[in-house]
Amino acid sequence: MLTLAAFLVPLAAHGQERPSFVTYNHHMEEPGALEVGLNPLFGTQRGGGSFLGAWIELEYGVKGWWTMEVYLDGQTRRPLVLEHKVNPVLYLEYASLNEADKTMREVVGHDVEAEHAEPLDVTRHEHEHELEAKLILSSSVKGWNLAHNWIAEKNLGGGAWEFGYAVAATRPFTLAATSRPCRFCAENFAGGVEVYGGLGDTDSFGFKGTSHYVAPFVSWELPGGTTLRLSPTFGLNGKSHRFLLRFGIAREVALGRGRR
């Protein structure tokens, strides 16, 4: 799958790997740092066997207002340098993929469990070119990060616009940092919950015939720039997968001096 993404972000919040897997917030990479992440997914489905998926994510902080984010290629732009009470982000993405993809980075339209039960020998030969727009609203309130994503996706080969949503609430286990380095200190952990799903399309907008999920998550930042994430995910209706399990491991490496 080839993905090109661009963000337009009027704020400057750096150095925090988001604990949630589907919901984006306004925190981005430190200037001069490269983060490499691997995100495997295990899923179960009623109409077929269990499956595995994964995606690799690369993120590089070019300047304080510009971050390159790559699924294979992408970029993030931040025109202003101040953080606000509500931080809007405009996300644009182009993707060239085949229907065998099961990474489930988000849910849109009528993306339901039954579609993932088709044999891989069939779906791997079905290619699509898609354009995605995502409006991200993110706020930091008394230690909590509250984020809301509106998603719109269009198959460039034809068809209706498809819509989806994702919301998340995240908080560090403690806001007080210790004076010494440690692996198991509470400030190294963050957790929360996200809810996401489809909102139909331009022909049939709404919750009817769509899938929805709730997913608690936890992240652990280790000394040296490694972050581990875990999220058990539960389907909320008969159109959803019963259970998904997401893992994430990311490593941050300083490559050069960024400049704000």
pLDDT the model gives residue 75:
35
What does pTM read for this prediction?
A: 0.79
pLDDT the model gives residue 100:
46
Specify the CATH number for the domain of residue 24.
Answer: 2.40.160.40
Question: Which residues constitute the domain of residue 61?
Answer: 2-254
Percentage of the chain modeled with pLDDT above 70: 69
Q: 154-197 pLDDT, tens per residue? A: 888 888 899 999 999 999 999 888 878 788 999 999 999 999 99
Domain presence at residue 26: yes
Domain count along the chain: 1
Domain presence at residue 122: yes
The band of 113, judged by pLDDT with boundaries at 50, 70 and 90, is low
Domain presence at residue 216: yes
Rounded alpha-carbon distances, angstroms, from residue 174 to 98, 170, 178, 222? 42, 12, 10, 15
Q: 49-79 pLDDT, tens per residue? A: 788 888 888 888 777 666 777 764 433 344 4
Domain presence at residue 83: yes
Domain presence at residue 223: yes
Q: What letter represents residue 53's amino acid?
A: G
Domain presence at residue 63: yes
Asked whether the beta carbons of 85 and 35 are under 8 A apart, the reply is no
Domain presence at residue 189: yes
Domain presence at residue 260: no
